[in-house]
Amino acid sequence: MTVAPVAVYAVATAYPRYCLRQEDVLAKATEVFGHRAELMQRMAKSYGNAGVKQRNSCVPLEWYAQPHGWPERMELFERNAVQLLTEAGADAIAKAGIDAKDIAVTVTVSSTGIVTPSLDSLLQGPLGLAPTVQRLPVFGLGCAGGVIGLSRAAAMARALPGRWVLFMCTELCGLTFRHGDDSKSNIIGTTIFGDGAAAVLLRADHTTAGAIATIAAWGEHTWPDTRDIMGWRIEDNGLGVVFSRSIPILVRERMRQVTDDFLATQGMTHADITGLIVHPGGEKVLEAMEACYGLPEGGLTDAREVLAAHGNMSAVTVLAVLERTFARGAKGRHLMTALGPGFSVGMCVLDLI
């Protein structure tokens, strides 16, 4: 008996109501870090070079000018994450035209807040899910969570052919900003971080009528001894971001071989790929991606447009790029990738119908 293909039926995104323009963020950062005038003079150019024009935030710009602790951050995270995931999830369900009670499994990814009971349990009522839905909450994947989480959802769909699987992801990166942290990583976070949510509806079935894509393969790779490249530090007043300057170098020098090896395990080569759907970590990472795949500068158009409009929303970002790729009517085989803590890359091959 042949294995049923895993198909994608809907992708949806949701964003919080506050829209922060990059020039306003720079002005506020200059005010917050005014006691480090020389540092901000050196860092100011990073706002213009980040590739971000604006981004959405679950809190107003003034929030970032005050200190905040864990209780407040987590209350804001829970309230806004549930609201955004409900919006994105309901939109995906409506686009697919199914009954929410028919969803058998949810896979929910987030790395910017902690909630117990987990977010997926809090979404059952608002989304109208059945109390018997199987839930898989995933924490700690960071920016790679959009692709790795989608892969986990695809594996669940394959294990339960004919049943609907709802993959949801939210990251509220802005809530991790820590007033009083003068580190370059904290400041760089203000140049790119945004908030958002996404949802993808999947099913494995021999009948793929109504599907917008099928998932041909998925995989991941973690480079040894690279834990210090990206992640969170657990601090007294929140999560402290860890960024290494070596990320673009690693992408240029080591990314292509890993994706080529992954494709080879599936009997494919890069020549079989029509397009790339990538997580735009920032301008330098996009430039490195374009270089390692032999693309012209600015060639990753969908990723650049999402970065400019919404910033780096960690795991959500690549799903927003996927949505934009569908919206412009792209067809054919695409390689979807996202880098994250570990240091790892998640990879997925999708055939856009």
The enclosing domain of 234 has a CATH number of 3.40.47.10
Domain membership of residue 54 (yes or no) is yes
Two tokens at 257?
A: 């071989």
What are the tens digits of pLDDT across the range 297-343?
Answer: 889 999 999 999 999 999 999 999 999 999 999 999 999 999 999 89
Q: Is the pTM of this model over 0.85?
A: yes
Residue 36 has pLDDT above 70, yes or no: yes
Give the phi and the psi of residue 334 in degrees, each rounded to 5: -125, 145
Count of CB atoms situated within 10 Å of the CB of 17 = 10
Two tokens at 59?
A: 């809190």
Task: Specify the pLDDT at position 181.
Answer: 86
Q: Give the end of a domain, one of 138, 170, 204.
A: 204
Residue 39 has pLDDT above 80, yes or no: no
Q: Give the CA distances from residue 99 to residues 92, 241, 269, in Å, rounded to whole numbers and listed in that order.
A: 11, 40, 39
Q: Are strands 164-172 and 18-21 parallel, antiparallel or unpaired?
A: unpaired
16 shares its domain with 127: yes
Residue 69 has pLDDT above 80, yes or no: yes
246 shares its domain with 142: no
Domain membership of residue 269 (yes or no) is yes
Domain membership of residue 226 (yes or no) is yes
281 shares its domain with 348: yes
Give the phi and the psi of residue 27 in degrees, each rounded to 5: -65, -40
103 shares its domain with 233: no
Task: Specify the pLDDT at position 208.
Answer: 86
What percent of the chain shows pLDDT beyond 70?
Answer: 100
Domain membership of residue 1 (yes or no) is no
List % helix, strand, coil for the chain (3-state, nearest 5): 45, 25, 30
Residue with tokens 């924490």: 139
160 shares its domain with 270: no
Are 21 and 56 a contacting pair, CB within 8 Å? no
Query: Which is higher by pLDDT, 38 or 47?
Result: 47
H or E, element range at 114: none
19 shares its domain with 126: yes
270 shares its domain with 345: yes
Q: Which residues of 94-117 are buried (b: 16+ CB within 10 A; e: fewer)?
A: ebbebebeebbbbbbbbbbbebee
Task: Specify the pLDDT at position 33.
Answer: 87
Residue 37 has pLDDT above 80, yes or no: no
Q: Which of 45-49, 108-112, 202-206 has the lowest mean pLDDT?
A: 45-49
Distance CA 45, CA 96 (A): 44
What are the tens digits of pLDDT across the range 244-273?
Answer: 888 999 999 999 999 999 999 999 999 999
Domain membership of residue 42 (yes or no) is yes
Distance CA 350, CA 216 (A): 6
195 shares its domain with 237: no
Per DSSP, the residues of 245-299 read TTHHHHIIIIIHHHHHHHHHHTT--GGG--EEEE----HHHHHHHHHHTTPPTT-
H or E, element range at 209: none
Mean pLDDT for 113-129 is 96
Mean pLDDT for 43-72 is 93
Domain that holds residue 328: 213-352
Two tokens at 4?
A: 């049923």
Q: Give the CA distances from residue 271 to residues 24, 241, 330, in Å, rounded to whole numbers and listed in that order.
A: 43, 37, 17
81 shares its domain with 143: yes
Task: Specify the pLDDT at position 119.
Answer: 96
45 shares its domain with 194: yes
Residue 152 has pLDDT above 80, yes or no: yes
Bridge partners, residue 222, by sequence: 344
Of 8-17, 36-45, 177-186, 277-286, give the range with the top mean pLDDT.
8-17
Residue 143 has pLDDT above 90, yes or no: yes
Q: Give the end of a domain, one of 177, 204, 231.
A: 204
217 shares its domain with 194: no
Task: Specify the pLDDT at position 116.
Answer: 93
Q: Give the end of a domain, one of 172, 204, 236.
A: 204
- The structural domain count of the chain equals 2
128 shares its domain with 252: no
Task: Specify the pLDDT at position 295.
Answer: 94
Residue with tokens 């686009």: 95
Count of CB atoms situated within 10 Å of the CB of 305 = 17
Mean pLDDT score of the chain, rounded to an integer? 94
Task: Specify the pLDDT at position 1.
Answer: 58
Cis peptide before 33 (omega within 30 of 0): no
Two tokens at 329?
A: 């009517």
Mean pLDDT for 344-350 is 97
Left, alpha or beta for 203 (phi > 0: left; psi -120 to 50: alpha)?
beta
Task: Specify the pLDDT at position 18.
Answer: 98
